[in-house]
Amino acid sequence: MNTFGHAFRVTTWGESHGKAVGCIIDGCPAGLEIDEEFIQKEMSRRRPGGEFSSKRKEIDEVEILSGVLDGITLGTPISLLVWNKDVDSKPYEELKTIPRPGHADFSYFAKFGIRDWRGGGRASARETVGRVAAGAIAKLILRKYNIRVFGYAREIGGIRFSVEDPEKAFEIAERSPIRCPDPQKEGEAEERIKMAMSEGDSVGGIVELIAKNVPAGLGEPVFGKISAYFAYALMSIPSVKGFEIGRGFEVAKLKGSENNDPIVLKDGKIRFATNNAGGILGGITNGEDIVMRIAVKPTPSISKKQKSVDYERMEEVEISVKGRHDPCIVPRIVPVAEAMASLVIVDCMLLQGLIPRSFVGRT
Amino acid sequence: MNTFGHAFRVTTWGESHGKAVGCIIDGCPAGLEIDEEFIQKEMSRRRPGGEFSSKRKEIDEVEILSGVLDGITLGTPISLLVWNKDVDSKPYEELKTIPRPGHADFSYFAKFGIRDWRGGGRASARETVGRVAAGAIAKLILRKYNIRVFGYAREIGGIRFSVEDPEKAFEIAERSPIRCPDPQKEGEAEERIKMAMSEGDSVGGIVELIAKNVPAGLGEPVFGKISAYFAYALMSIPSVKGFEIGRGFEVAKLKGSENNDPIVLKDGKIRFATNNAGGILGGITNGEDIVMRIAVKPTPSISKKQKSVDYERMEEVEISVKGRHDPCIVPRIVPVAEAMASLVIVDCMLLQGLIPRSFVGRT
Amino acid sequence: MNTFGHAFRVTTWGESHGKAVGCIIDGCPAGLEIDEEFIQKEMSRRRPGGEFSSKRKEIDEVEILSGVLDGITLGTPISLLVWNKDVDSKPYEELKTIPRPGHADFSYFAKFGIRDWRGGGRASARETVGRVAAGAIAKLILRKYNIRVFGYAREIGGIRFSVEDPEKAFEIAERSPIRCPDPQKEGEAEERIKMAMSEGDSVGGIVELIAKNVPAGLGEPVFGKISAYFAYALMSIPSVKGFEIGRGFEVAKLKGSENNDPIVLKDGKIRFATNNAGGILGGITNGEDIVMRIAVKPTPSISKKQKSVDYERMEEVEISVKGRHDPCIVPRIVPVAEAMASLVIVDCMLLQGLIPRSFVGRT
Amino acid sequence: MNTFGHAFRVTTWGESHGKAVGCIIDGCPAGLEIDEEFIQKEMSRRRPGGEFSSKRKEIDEVEILSGVLDGITLGTPISLLVWNKDVDSKPYEELKTIPRPGHADFSYFAKFGIRDWRGGGRASARETVGRVAAGAIAKLILRKYNIRVFGYAREIGGIRFSVEDPEKAFEIAERSPIRCPDPQKEGEAEERIKMAMSEGDSVGGIVELIAKNVPAGLGEPVFGKISAYFAYALMSIPSVKGFEIGRGFEVAKLKGSENNDPIVLKDGKIRFATNNAGGILGGITNGEDIVMRIAVKPTPSISKKQKSVDYERMEEVEISVKGRHDPCIVPRIVPVAEAMASLVIVDCMLLQGLIPRSFVGRT
């Protein structure tokens, strides 16, 4: 339920305005050097900041409580914790019994008969802190195998960005406040976001994710397809409403002869001439780059007037959501999506026996 | 790996040209009346037939080997088996060491170092026999709660079909050989498929799925989101390359104020004025119709010449895939997608405690 | 529920008097040669026969329906099936609504509100057919690593058997109709069983299990202890009421200085001077022989008069259980226990990365 | 691996001398009132103290970091944390490369190639803090159903205690520093422990556990037997080497007619005249008291000289384990065993649909 993964298992916990958020990573191989600076850097990539995002300011310092001795993993559960410091629940008080449109408030209440009204509670994007921290450790493992997972905004507020070389696109995007990989369109996209902000509104977009150097043979037949697993992982991120791999929804318009990737010899190895499949055939990796995209909805928290119902008084009301919100969540979803994809790959490599239970010693 | 579900668990087994295919359903409540005729009808909906599909003719008669006594489930595993009768492996013999483009041949070989060359083996669409049989039993359960799951082609070969009322669309589509819900466009779509056939090619499309009367509160927080679970379930179907829920990829172009579904009172109940969310908020159902679409790639088996590599001789070759193949798999994917979605809903209802462990007796 | 294992997963299905029983093995490495004769031999070891066991005569021929091509595993699910041929449900008809003391009849009925009254249904020892078949495949894998799992009766009807060298004990026991490893006591034990038979009664006993050459490092910390896993596996066998490892219940009477196994160097390797721990410390194997014992209750099916209640008429009755029953189930439990222990070891070796996903090819 | 349970899932984390230990409880129903005082009381029952136990003094104050709002559970993960305060790793420094006999040091090192030498690390009894905290919450749920789980020492240092009425036995034992339910034998047992202490040695024993008012029908067929699940749960506790249910190992000496519990009518309900089965038939509860016993080995940490090997220098050495250790762990295992048994029962009740997902509201 709150656990992700089979061999590399991450359990996240914590409410947005509770004492802390965190996660436990179970199944991390022993003998891994934990680069705390790198983890912290990944946390910063997720953190709000700049003019295009929420004003909540958190240092998000990760405390490692277990599983690591002298900077080396022990093979035991790694418990990571981040205290919630800059919390202000007041703006939410007037919505204690009024579910916000586009939010999980109503469905959580329908499920549990009770909900944490403070800042979205468990359904808040704050929950992704634990994902990014765990994903950072997964990336440390992938680094050993020269596997890179990265992403950028592919579309924001209806403006599509051009990408030729994904690796360069990533570099450019990392320097952009909105993770835009296309300098030609960046200004226009920022304008679109500002416009929405000024209207008390928000915009959505599309994130593109690439995984390079993933070995062929990952994923399990039938229900363990790595494509299904990626879909599951990425659709579990708040605000994601669609997932596609390779050419994705475009395949609906292609013929078999256009869509099939010809199999060829390159440098004496079996490879694919094109990559419409996005690196996955029959749910198992084929050695080509994995290419995925997810659709991100516009932030539901908007100050524009919206209709809702007070479920205590069973009465229709008009509300305006206050608090500090991102007018566009797309840039901040990029590191979360990278984290989830990294978790999937590490998990499948462990299941395939490509990562040992320990990087040291005699086992 | 080959098991799907948490409380209602389905394990499928079998290769396309092996002795049989089948599945085990574990966790089906006791005391359910098994309507064998209905199961058989669902099997027929999946079966090839007509001019637009593979010529493999199988009666696909389901044998129930366990878990049912006098037509009533016992609460123990239900073992279902379908013998593979009309099997002809000869056309595949010349491709024993040559992976077919667009197929799982190469990736299975990369994973296991061995592959069943006969008719796609485990990666064949034949595997879905077990899913449809299990899905039929799931539908028998859902029927008790007045929940309906149905689908139709929403797009074939680039031709988009209009749909106003999904229930009517389904009825129309069920009478169409290509499961087209739009009589205006049916002829054109059939033409498109015939054209591809005549060129030894194939076309793709989009399937739309609806679930009506699903109670609010299904799905689990964070990693157990029912949207992620649906994505996982539907992306596990062979040939599916994309998944979306509600407005899906369109949300990228919407503003928050356009995408948020206003919350209103209808007949004294909390409901949503629109359904852009597709019935799911924060990964938990909100009581509205669940609406999903999947992208289906053009059948990879085409008789047109294609490039590949003989991995025994490590030599590039040109091949033409023979055998009996569907020029468009979209219509046959509809019942499979319905089955998978039904399994998800039953599973989540069991997890939520909405379905008892037994429909009879004293428990 | 009806599935055992994490990486090497076995799902059994089938009722005693249904059409068939069987199992699916998911996660078996590819490239394993399937020695069908060996599987059949293991089945025969489990089969009733001889004067000390049930008169049900079944050839128990295992049909392999999937997962194997030309005698080699494909890495896909292996479906094994055994038809139920020699079935006679008549003796059970008069007990349709009367639970037999010592049997699962009442508790199944309490759970499901319905029960298969024919020969114990799912709770019958016939279910272990699938375990032994799957265990045979596990043994084929262990054989590659020179790991041997074997057992014998350690006590029957209150008569304790002497064992010095477990391997010799096993050889002797395999030639004994009651799997007795102690020729001095064999006659006495047989007498005890015959006596019980003549009284329409039954006797219990203890089975001892040994696993040799198990590598150190198997098992997972805390909840994944291999000792707990063995306990779970062996307690899942019908009629088993106790489990112990190493010195087991005797440790309650020992001092730390007596029970701790001194750590020494043998041939330059770290070993243990004694093996009170039974090969497991902290839930993880230490490289010494694994030694376990299970307590087996006397067969509950006895022809002696017993009290029960007809739950239809809610009336106390006296019954005598007819049908064909073993007066002592201990000898037949030996191969089942070996199978379960073998499954545990293979599973833990896969989890530890000591068994590859494929024994052939390029992975 | 470090997670226990299916529907009510507990993940523990933390090393003995790390910063903290704790657990996450996932799947706890919403709307449960959290009685923090009760949790703290359970923690105290586990805590060392008195002349017969380790001198490590920890207040073991449980901090609730998530999942609870205004004292009521939210249905989201409950994160519990206890800081490690009174930690002194110095005595362990000289054993950094020398595994202690009877401890997990060697097997952890064999598994991971690295081990936490500080106070046993993950394999320390300190890990059970999280179990007891989670078990306390499970007990709060069971309380609603009038189900009680309790235990006491049944044997210590070879001295067997008499028990007539388990509930009275528990009351007496709770007032005894060694959890002895038999005032006649208490002095003798204490003498035995003191004697061992004075020799730098330790003693083992047996714990008996009772669960009252458990409804019939818990447990799943075949591999999900609640007896197997209890065995798994209790064998996962450090130092436990044997498990039995009902008459346990004694059944080996009984006849079927002696061991079968007659089924009778009591107050118009189907009950059992005796309870040799210990409340479980066919792995499913039958409504009678559940009765279990576990064998606890003598504490392996003894100051008496013992043989071991320095694995750095590969040299035999003689060691004496210093630090603060219990001469008999039996009394402190009682609350841990109760906790594990409570977790099993709550989990099975959730699986059986007997506990709702929420105790409040509209679901």
With contact defined as beta carbons under 8 Å apart, do A198 and A329 qualify? no
CA–CA dist D350, D215 (Å, integer): 12
Q: Which of C2, C78, C114 sits opposite B72 (nearest CB)?
A: C114
Which chain D residues are within 8 Å of C249, Cβ to Cβ? 206, 241-242, 244, 249, 295
For residue A145, give the nearest of A291, A361, A354 by alpha carbon: A354
CA–CA dist D279, D272 (Å, integer): 9
Which chain C residues are within 8 Å of B85, Cβ to Cβ? none
Residue-level length of chain C? 363
Query: In this complex, is the C-beta atom of C282 within 8 Å of any C-beta atom belonging to chain A?
Result: no
Q: Compute the nearest-CA separation of A359 from chain D (Å).
A: 8
Return the H-helix or E-strand segment holding D212.
strand D205-212
The residues in A 79-98 lying below 8 A from D, measured between CB atoms, are 79, 81
Tokens for C120, please give them: 């114990």
Which chain B residues are within 8 Å of A283, Cβ to Cβ? 104, 107, 236
DSSP conformational letter for C28: P
C-alpha torsion sign, points B286, B290, B295, B300:
positive
CA end-to-end span of chain D: 32
CA–CA dist C25, A21 (Å, integer): 40
Which CATH topology does A3-351 take?
Chorismate synthase, AroC fold (3.60.150)
Residue D363 to residue B76, Cβ atoms within 8 A: no
Residue D65 to residue A26, Cβ atoms within 8 A: no
With contact defined as beta carbons under 8 Å apart, do A117 and A95 qualify? yes
Residue D350's closest chain B neighbor by CA?
Answer: B353
CA–CA dist D314, D328 (Å, integer): 32
List CB contacts of C289: < 8 A, sequence separation 6 or more: C166, C210, C211, C212, C214, C275, C278, C279
D12 Cα distance to chain centroid: 14
Q: Which of B20, B66, B361 sits opposite C114 (nearest CB)?
A: B361
Any bridge partners for residue C194, and if so which?
none
Q: Which tens digits make up the pLDDT trace of B5-38?
A: 999 999 999 999 999 999 999 999 999 999 999 9
With contact defined as beta carbons under 8 Å apart, do B102 and A281 qualify? yes
Please identify which residue in the block is written with the tokens 């029912």: B226
For residue A3, give the nearest of A355, A347, A351 by alpha carbon: A347
Tokens for B139, please give them: 């539908």
Any bridge partners for residue C80, and if so which?
C23, C64
Query: In this complex, is the C-beta atom of B106 within 8 Å of any C-beta atom belonging to chain A?
Result: yes
Residue D264 to residue C309, Cβ atoms within 8 A: yes
Which chain C residues are within 8 Å of B72, Cβ to Cβ? 114
C-alpha torsion sign, points D339, D341, D342, D346:
positive
Neighbours of B296 (CB within 10 A): 31
Residue D67's closest chain B neighbor by CA?
Answer: B221
> Residue ranges per domain, chain D?
3-351
Any bridge partners for residue A152, and if so which?
A208
C-alpha torsion sign, points A293, A297, A298, A300:
negative
Which chain C residues are within 8 Å of A217, Cβ to Cβ? 363
Question: Which of C3, C6, C79, C220 is the best substitution to test chain A (most A C-beta atoms within 10 A)?
Answer: C220
Q: Which of C222, C251, C308 sits opposite D127 (nearest CB)?
A: C222
Please identify which residue in the block is written with the tokens 């290509």: B178
Residue C296 to residue D206, Cβ atoms within 8 A: no
For residue C78, give the nearest of C24, C127, C130, C153 by alpha carbon: C24
Residue C217 to residue A363, Cβ atoms within 8 A: yes
Average pLDDT, chain C: 95
Query: In this complex, is the C-beta atom of C352 within 8 Å of any C-beta atom belonging to chain A?
Result: yes
Residue B7's closest chain D neighbor by CA?
Answer: D351
CA-CA-CA-CA dihedral for C218, C221, C223, C224, to nearest 10 = -20
Tokens for D357, please give them: 């997902």
Q: Which tens digits make up the pLDDT trace of C204-236?
A: 999 999 999 999 999 999 999 999 999 999 999
Amino acid at B37: E
Which chain B residues are within 8 Å of D24, Cβ to Cβ? none
CA–CA dist C356, C354 (Å, integer): 7
Q: Please give chain C's pLDDT, 363 residues, in tens.
A: 899 999 999 999 999 999 999 999 999 999 999 999 999 999 999 886 666 666 556 678 999 999 999 999 999 999 999 999 878 888 888 999 999 999 999 999 999 999 999 988 999 999 999 999 999 999 999 999 999 999 999 999 999 999 999 999 999 999 999 999 999 999 999 999 999 999 999 999 999 999 999 999 999 999 999 999 999 999 999 999 999 999 999 999 999 999 999 999 999 999 999 999 999 999 999 999 999 999 999 999 999 999 999 999 999 999 998 876 889 999 999 999 999 999 999 999 999 999 999 999 754
CA–CA dist D309, D106 (Å, integer): 10
* Predicted complex ipTM: 0.97
3-state SS class at D315: strand
Position A4 scores a pLDDT of: 98
Which chain A residues are within 8 Å of C221, Cβ to Cβ? 75-76
CA–CA dist B62, B36 (Å, integer): 8
Which chain A residues are within 8 Å of D2, Cβ to Cβ? 24, 26, 76-77
DSSP code string of D78-96: EEEEEE--S---HHHHTTT
Q: Which of A76, A352, A357 sits opposite C352 (nearest CB)?
A: A357
Query: In this complex, is the C-beta atom of D227 within 8 Å of any C-beta atom belonging to chain C?
Result: yes
CA–CA dist D297, D301 (Å, integer): 11
Give the Å distances, CA to CA, from B320 to A256, A275, B92, B199, B273. 12, 20, 11, 12, 53
With contact defined as beta carbons under 8 Å apart, do B325 and B196 qualify? no
CA–CA dist B209, A24 (Å, integer): 36
DSSP code string of B216-274: TT-S-SGGG-HHHHHHHHHHTSTTEEEEEETTGGGGGG-BHHHHSPPEEEETTEEEES-
Which chain D residues are within 8 Å of B7, Cβ to Cβ? 351
Alpha carbons within 13 angstroms on the beta-carbon side of residue C207 total 32
Any bridge partners for residue D266, and if so which?
D269
Question: Which of A112, A311, A357 is the best substitution to test chain D (most D C-beta atoms within 10 A)?
Answer: A112
CA–CA dist C324, C56 (Å, integer): 6
* Burial environment of residue B50 by CB neighbours within 10 A (0 to 12, 13 to 18, 19 or more): exposed
CA–CA dist B91, B56 (Å, integer): 13
Q: Please give chain A's pLDDT, 363 residues, in tens.
A: 899 999 999 999 999 999 999 999 999 999 999 999 999 999 999 886 666 666 556 578 999 999 999 999 999 999 999 999 878 888 888 999 999 999 999 999 999 999 999 988 999 999 999 999 999 999 999 999 999 999 999 999 999 999 999 999 999 999 999 999 999 999 999 999 999 999 999 999 999 999 999 999 999 999 999 999 999 999 999 999 999 999 999 999 999 999 999 999 999 999 999 999 999 999 999 999 999 999 999 999 999 999 999 999 999 999 998 876 889 999 999 999 999 999 999 999 999 999 999 999 754
